Amino acid sequence: MDVETVKILAAALALLPILGVGIGLGLIFGSFNEAVARNPSIQSSLFGTLIFGFAVTEALAIFSLGISLLILFGL
């Protein structure tokens, strides 16, 4: 196999965690909506936790994109 082909395959494999990020974000926001639908008065106290969970989950996508770009265009 050519080195360029292996780099492209490795970069594509490094992006696989983005699938988990999509599933995780769906679960986070779905659970928030369900909790607020059951008890609307708790929305303000859950919103900070929602944003923190979103940020941590989205960071995984950013890190995997960075690793993929490093593999593809790195030194």
The pTM (predicted TM-score) of the whole model is: 0.82
Residues 18 and 61 sit within 8 Å (Cβ to Cβ): yes
Q: Which residue segment(s) compose the domain that 34 sits in? A: 3-73
pLDDT above 80: residue 75: no
Q: What is the mean pLDDT of residues 12-22?
A: 95
**DSSP tally for the chain: helices H, then strands E:** 3, 0
CATH number of the domain encompassing residue 63:
1.20.20.10
Give residue-wise pLDDT tens across range 18-64.
999 999 999 999 999 999 999 999 999 999 999 999 999 999 999 99
Q: Note the pLDDT of residue 74.
A: 86
How many angstroms separate the CA atoms of 61 and 52, rounded? 15
Q: How many domains does the chain have?
A: 1
Q: What is the mean pLDDT of residues 2-30?
A: 95
Q: How far is CA 7 from CA 29, 50, 55, 60, 70, in A?
A: 35, 36, 29, 21, 10
How many angstroms separate the CA atoms of 32 and 46, rounded? 8
